[in-house]
Amino acid sequence: PVQGPLTGKHILITAGPTHEPIDPVRYIANRSSGKQGFAIAAAAARAGATVTLIAGPVTLPTPPGVTRVDVETARQMDAAVDAALPADVAIMVAAVADWRSADEAQQKIKKDGSGKIPPLHLVENPDILATLAKSDRRPPLVIGFAAETNDVLAHATAKLARKGADWIVANDVATHLMGGEVNALHIVSASGVESLPEMTKDAAATALVKRISDAIA
């Protein structure tokens, strides 16, 4: 095992999208690639942490030294997070689908030729971050992410309180499209905002992990 500033710390990370089935062949998803979350898992492992990475459906290799749990849906991710506790730090990078089908069909929904369009009724998924932040097994440092297309800092500041997180790491997905190689992170906490310049997702991960080790040292 690597010795570093996070040796002896358990860091729990969620990454990637979730897939919410509509029927056996269709699902609701989003454009998350998982790259930023996987880069953070890799950086935390390089800093000596014991890392559990709960990954939605992505096509990325597991970073060296990281324990990976693959899930598909938000409810599976929620259960996997719970099962991985306790942790010293939780970093919720996953782009969890906000809604899932209220009535997942057990057989493929067919066009019946009448031109009638089937309705898609949605229900809300569990908010994994908010649930964890309020739980009695809350890790001492809980970090959420916010992917926004507008008013990034205002939304991030509101999210800090609404989710009960210690930090919200915001990024602008209008200028940095999901799936890209670079990111510009804004770390929002009770003590203010630190805006990092645009850099690769690996460099952004290293910078974030440095701030985490400084905060919990």
Residue 94 near ligand C5P by CB under 6 A: yes
Which listed residue (33, 36, 73, 125) binds ligand C5P by CB under 6 A? 125
Closer to ligand C5P by CB, 6 or 170: give it. Answer: 170
Strand segments, DSSP code E, in 47-134 are 50-55, 66-70, 89-92, 99-101, 122-124
Closer to ligand C5P by CB, 5 or 126: give it. Answer: 126
CA–CA dist 63, 65 (Å, integer): 6
Closer to ligand C5P by CB, 131 or 200: give it. Answer: 131
Site string for ligand C5P, 14-33 (x = CB under 6 A): x-------------------
The nearest distance, CB 146 to ligand C5P, in angstroms, is 5
Q: What share of the chain is helix, strand, coil (3-state, %, to 5)?
A: 25, 30, 45
CA–CA dist 122, 130 (Å, integer): 20
Residue 146 near ligand C5P by CB under 6 A: yes
The nearest distance, CB 182 to ligand C5P, in angstroms, is 20
The nearest distance, CB 204 to ligand C5P, in angstroms, is 15
DSSP-derived secondary structure letter, 179: T
Does 187 carry a binding-site annotation? no
CA–CA dist 48, 168 (Å, integer): 23
Q: Is 30 a catalytic residue?
A: yes
Of the residues 30, 150, 171, 183, only one is catalytic, namely 30
CA–CA dist 172, 163 (Å, integer): 19
Q: How far is CA 186 from CA 140, 144, 146, 199, in A?
A: 21, 12, 10, 12
Which listed residue (38, 53, 127, 156) binds ligand C5P by CB under 6 A? 127
Contact 122, 44 (CB under 8 A): no
Closer to ligand C5P by CB, 70 or 98: give it. Answer: 98
- Strand bridging mode 141-148 / 167-172: parallel
Active site (catalytic) residues:
30
Q: What residues are designated binding site?
A: 98, 108, 126-129, 145, 159, 163
Residues of the shown chain interacting with ligand C5P in the complex, contacts defined by CB under 6 A: 14, 74, 92, 94, 96, 98, 125-129, 144-146, 159
